[in-house]
Amino acid sequence: MNAPLLNGQVAVIGAGTMGIGIAQVAAAAGHPVRLFDIAPAAAQRAIDDLARRLRQRVDGGKADAATTEALLARLERADSLEQLADCALVIEAVAENLAIKQGLFRDLEALCSPTTLFASNTSSLSITAIAGALQHPERMAGLHFFNPAPLMKLVEIVSGLETGAETLAALQALAQRWGKQSVVCRSTPGFIVNRVARPFYAETLRALEERVADAATLDAVLRDAGGFAMGPLQLTDLIGQDVNYAVTESVYQAFYQDPRFTPSLVQQELVAAGRLGRKSGRGFYRYDAPRSAAEIAFAPPAQAALPQRVTLHGDWSSLADLAQLLSENAGAIKQPGQTSPHVTIDDVTLMLTNGKTADQLADERGTPVVLFDLCADYARASAIAISCAAQNDAQHNAKAIRLLQSLGKQVIPLPDYPGLLTMRTLAMLANEALDVVNKGVAGAEDTDLAMLRGVNYPRGPLAWGAALGWRHILTTLENLQRYYGEARYRPMPLLRRYASPATFPGAER
């Protein structure tokens, strides 16, 4: 990285939450930083608010006074674009409006040194389009931070069509010096994170629309069973329903209304009602009144006796943690084979959902069937979701529930919903991540890293899909596509290739 960028003045344009957060990151790394906003009072207010928050941390013994004051001394307000002319790097964090951003960078190019690099923190607009306003678009890239910028480790470095290799290399080195983990991607709608993450919200929103369960129970499935840090409905309340809906709508339109990005009518209605989540006092949950604990629909303790015989059939290498739990806590006996892993509990079949309903599988197998959902880590998950075939009687279901409760799990019974919730969510996440890789938007390692560090997923969707088995992911999506008759669940070409035994011998398991 060249010396001017390593030690030089950094400008941040836009004094909102992201702007002041990026300015704090740069100042903490030792750069003198100028913060510009079209409203000078807003820039000064942002600096003053930051100083107040940081000094409160010092007062609370959570930060060093000298380090804090040195950081604040490196921050100053700029009252005009002309004051940014000598900056080595200008980062824009203004409103998501293409014409505004293009005009801003056009003006900056006329003012700044030919060596100044330009970056946009846009989360939805094309870097190629923004850079189209420049005479030298090779100087322009995306530098997409995540909120809150001082805490979140990930930065997406986004290459437009004309972005220079030297620009990308300089920004990668800078991000590392700032203590960030960077991933590089091409400028396509949603980049990596905002594109791949759409199914995380969409599948739970669909389940809510189809009245599978209430918000608290659906969130518990993804959080307590699936291993995600927050449930999707909790998270959209935190982000802001308007913000999350706008990103989904933007990606949907940018992909020419591809059905796999279809926005949710339930979320649209919340936005129309002004129920935007925490910031408005109400979203899927209430924040404007004393809160009582949300009731999650756990199954009560089953009264059935522990099963007499528990047998593990098939190849359990993809579910080794669950197999170990069943062996250690339920005395399960293994009968290895090449079939999909499943458990027989006396006369009941317990198996991982594959996108078919429990009713379908009970008809096919001629036995009572209980399906269980996917967990990122069966040993650590505090809960597990199930669905039971209508053909079962209460005793059949009680046997499965009793067995799972004996493993120390809370059981969340759901209606006979194909793919349950975590399984279908992972299948869609992995499918989208594979499309990102297949189309050269980003590499597999960067794609997984983006989802781990940008949105704190328990596992990268590609690594998780590979561990579970690409054949199971493919089968789940094919079954969902047949069930709904929708292109939304169509498997991507790279998934079909990865699931082929010719590509990965043994993948047919």
Q: Helices marked H in 412-460 — which ranges?
A: 422-438, 444-454
Q: Where are the beta strands (DSSP E) in 56-137?
A: 75-78, 89-92, 117-120
CA-to-CA distance for 218 and 265, rounded, in angstroms? 17
CA-to-CA distance for 91 and 118, rounded, in angstroms? 6
Q: Which of 120, 123, 340, 397 is an active site residue?
A: 123
Strand 310-313 with 333-335, pairing:
parallel
CA-to-CA distance for 156 and 151, rounded, in angstroms? 15
Within 10 angstroms of residue 505's Cβ, the number of other Cβ atoms is 8
Question: Cβ(13)–Cβ(82) under 8 Å?
Answer: no
CA-to-CA distance for 15 and 92, rounded, in angstroms? 10
Residue in the structure block whose two tokens are 């942002």: 46
Q: Which of 92, 121, 144, 342 is an active site residue?
A: 144
CA-to-CA distance for 211 and 440, rounded, in angstroms? 38
Q: Which of 92, 156, 203, 478 is an active site residue?
A: 156
Q: Where are the beta strands (DSSP E) in 26-163?
A: 33-36, 75-78, 89-92, 117-120, 140-145, 154-159
Angle of helix 461-468 relative to helix 470-484, nearest 10 degrees, comes to 100
CA-to-CA distance for 70 and 37, rounded, in angstroms? 23
Strand 140-145 with 342-345, pairing:
unpaired
Residue 479's contacts (CB-CB under 8 Å, 6 or more residues apart) are 354, 355, 356, 418, 419
Residue 15 token pair: 């004094």
DSSP 308-350: S-EEEES--GGGHHHHHHHHHHH-PEEE--SSPPEEEETTEEE
Sign of the torsion angle spanned by Cα atoms 186, 491, 507, 348: positive
Within 10 angstroms of residue 131's Cβ, the number of other Cβ atoms is 25
Q: Which of 194, 354, 387, 397 is an active site residue?
A: 194
Within 10 angstroms of residue 232's Cβ, the number of other Cβ atoms is 29
Active site residue 342: no
Within 10 angstroms of residue 459's Cβ, the number of other Cβ atoms is 18
Active site residue 156: yes
Question: Cβ(40)–Cβ(28) under 8 Å?
Answer: no
Question: For residue 119, which of 85, 163, 154, 79 has the smallest C-alpha distance?
Answer: 163
Active site residue 123: yes
Sign of the torsion angle spanned by Cα atoms 145, 47, 279, 383: positive
Look at residue 60 and give its three-state secondary structure.
coil
Question: Cβ(448)–Cβ(463) under 8 Å?
Answer: yes
Q: Where are the beta strands (DSSP E) in 373-426?
A: 383-388, 410-414
Catalytic residue numbers read: 123, 144, 156, 194
